[in-house]
Amino acid sequence: MKAAVALLAAAAAFASPAPAQENSRTFVISDVQAAQILIVNNRLDDARRLLERVLAANPDDREALFLLATIAVAQKDYDTAISLYRRILVQAPDTERVRLELARAFFLKGDYDNADRQFRFARAGDIDDVVKANIDHFLAAINRLREWTVNFSLALAPDTNQNAATSASQVSIYGLPFTLDKSARKQSGIGVAGDIGGEWSPLLSDSVKARIGGDLSRTDYSGGQFDDMTLSGYAGPQLLFQDWDISLLGTGFERWYANQDYLTGFGGKIAADYGITSDLLISAAIGGQAVTNDFIPQQSGPLYSTQLAGTYVLSPSSLFQLQLGFNRQDAQIGAYSYSGVWFGAGYSQDLPFGFSAGFQPVYFITRYDDALAAFGKTRADNALMLAFTALNRRFDYHGFTPRFSYIFTQQHSNIPIYSFTRNQFQVGVTSLF
């Protein structure tokens, strides 16, 4: 019976309206309506051909795109479904239903990071409690099932101050004026910046996961004098609870500057997340590392850090973050020992036409323990960093999208040689959007 109805409906979609006959009625339905009936009757290929005809005439028909994505999910073609849902969100980023189905497609594909993000956006929309409860089940499942996380970015990186140095040509040392060498002053350049990282977190039991992760970031400048590369890693157990988790991790890193050994650190940290199934996610971490400085050995010593962050999803297309952190290093001499506090905020918004934008200001206050003999002052720095990021989700090639970022940094120090202004630009691609 259903098949007969579907056949009649599909025929009506292709035919011209016929004159009404006695004791009978003729119903004329749209191609989209006919496709809906075909989908209900599991005639997915017929429905897809019909919808492709609709999109050939109107490529931005949201209902046709949504139904075509529904067919792709049913046929387990998740990449196609994700691309189609994203095309709709390019036009209407606040559409909760599309966010929800996009999240589900990511979940079925096993891309749990993107699924988590989209489920949280959908949850912040105008949806009823039953749907929110279902989303919470997905979020809890993601926290347990997420086994692999991978991120990658590559960009061209113009920089007005690639060595983060002062623009002053002279400084006073022991009360006498000295002219700074060119290599110690502000230098501009164009580099290539790349970052790749990932985590493997297999489920060991109902309430315990293992976490093993690493990250490699590198910026190359012409000549190699200011090349900067950092390799970091961590490993340890993660304990899972109803709506929070806690990780006990061993950590380590190695940093090279100008392609020479610079910093090495080993230690551990405790990290916790609360609000796994909520619009508000709170993260906290505290840790310490024994740091060795190969350039200036007197700067070596234990480094302790703690940070607190809160992320609140405001709507299906926007979120807001607050961050607070504290660092303390006990170096071999007091002039290099310091305490620092930083606080920041962040706001990101998905915009029409496929654009997404984010803005993040951060302010740093750093105070050293003792005076530097050469300058006769105890160093005190205040720094402001403003970061702006923009990308366009319309351009999605195998999970990568183009991204532009700009970072402005201005540091004021009571010792002029440590004051600087820096403008960093990056134009490239990212897999996180």
The domain spanning residue 112 has which CATH number?
A: 1.25.40.10
pLDDT for 173:
62
Cα distance between residue 101 and residue 63, in whole Å = 13
Task: Give the span between the Cα atoms of 311 and 282, in whole angstroms.
Answer: 6
CA dihedral 133, 134, 135, 138 (to 10 degrees): 120
- Domain end (from 145, 170, 204): 145
Q: In a 3-state reduction of DSSP, which class is residue 45?
A: helix
In this structure, are 272 and 138 located in the same domain? no
**Sequence-distant (≥ 6) Cβ neighbours of residue 49 within 8 angstroms:** none
Per-residue pLDDT 10s for the chain (433 aa) are 333 333 333 433 443 344 444 455 666 788 888 889 899 999 999 999 999 999 999 998 999 999 999 999 999 999 999 999 998 998 888 889 999 999 999 999 998 988 998 999 999 988 888 999 999 989 988 988 889 888 889 999 999 988 887 766 656 665 555 655 666 677 888 999 999 999 999 999 989 999 999 999 999 988 888 899 999 999 999 999 888 999 999 999 999 999 999 999 999 999 999 987 778 999 999 999 999 999 999 999 999 999 999 999 999 999 999 999 999 999 999 999 999 999 999 999 988 888 899 999 999 999 999 999 888 999 999 999 999 999 887 777 777 889 999 999 999 999 988 999 999 999 998 876 5
DSSP category for residue 332: S
> What's the CA gap between 309 and 402, in Å, rounded?
27
Count helices and strands in the chain by DSSP H and E runs: 8, 17
| Residues 38 and 181 placed together within one structural domain of the fold | no
User: Are 235 and 224 in the same domain?
Assistant: yes
- Domain co-membership, 300 together with 188: yes
Coil, helix or strand for 250? strand
Q: Are residues 208 and 239 in contact, defined by beta-carbon separation less than 8 angstroms?
A: yes
Q: Are residues 259 and 118 in the same domain?
A: no
- Structural contact between residues 370 and 407, judged by C-beta atoms closer than 8 angstroms: no
Predicted confidence at residue 63, as pLDDT, reads 93
Cα–Cα distance, 302 to 325 (Å, whole number): 17
Q: Give the other-Cβ count within 10 Å of 23's Cβ.
A: 5
- Rounded to whole angstroms, what are the CA distances from 361 to 117, 210, 397? 22, 34, 30
216 vs 196: CA distance, rounded Å: 5
| Cα angle 388-392-395, degrees, rounded to a multiple of 5 | 150
Is the same domain home to 126 and 220?
Answer: no
Structural domain boundaries enclosing 424: 148-430
Together in a domain, 375 and 254: yes
Residue found under tokens 């926007």: 318
Residue where a domain terminates, one of 106, 125, 145: 145
H-helix segments, 357-401: none
Residues 425, 409: contact at Cβ < 8 Å?
no
Q: How far apart are CA 203 and CA 165, in angstroms?
A: 46
The span from the CA of 171 to the CA of 113, in Å, is 49
- Class of residue 179 by CB neighbours under 10 A (exposed 0-12, middle 13-18, buried 19+): exposed
Q: Do 209 and 99 belong together in one domain?
A: no
Q: How far apart are CA 358 and CA 410, in angstroms?
A: 20
Q: How far is CA 321 from the centre of its chain?
A: 12
**Contact by Cβ (8 Å): 384, 360:** no
Report residue 120: phi and psi, to 5°: -70, -40
Q: Do both 35 and 180 map to the same domain?
A: no
**Interatomic CA distance for residues 35 and 377, integer angstroms:** 76
- Residue type present at position 419: S
CATH number for the domain harbouring residue 198: 2.40.160.40
Can you tell me which residue has the tokens 């929110």?
132
DSSP 276: T
Amino acid at 307: Q
The verdict on 217 and 357 lying in the same domain is yes
Q: How many structural domains does the chain have? A: 2
| Residue with tokens 């387990």, as numbered in its chain | 76
Identify whether residues 128 and 160 lie together within a single domain.
no
Q: Is 353 exposed, middle or buried (0-12, 13-18, 19+ CB in 10 A)?
A: exposed
Q: Are 264 and 292 in contact (CB under 8 A)?
A: yes
Same domain? 160 vs 79: no
* Other beta carbons within 10 Å of 120: 23
Q: Which of 93, 121, 145 is the last residue of a domain?
A: 145
pLDDT at 120: 92
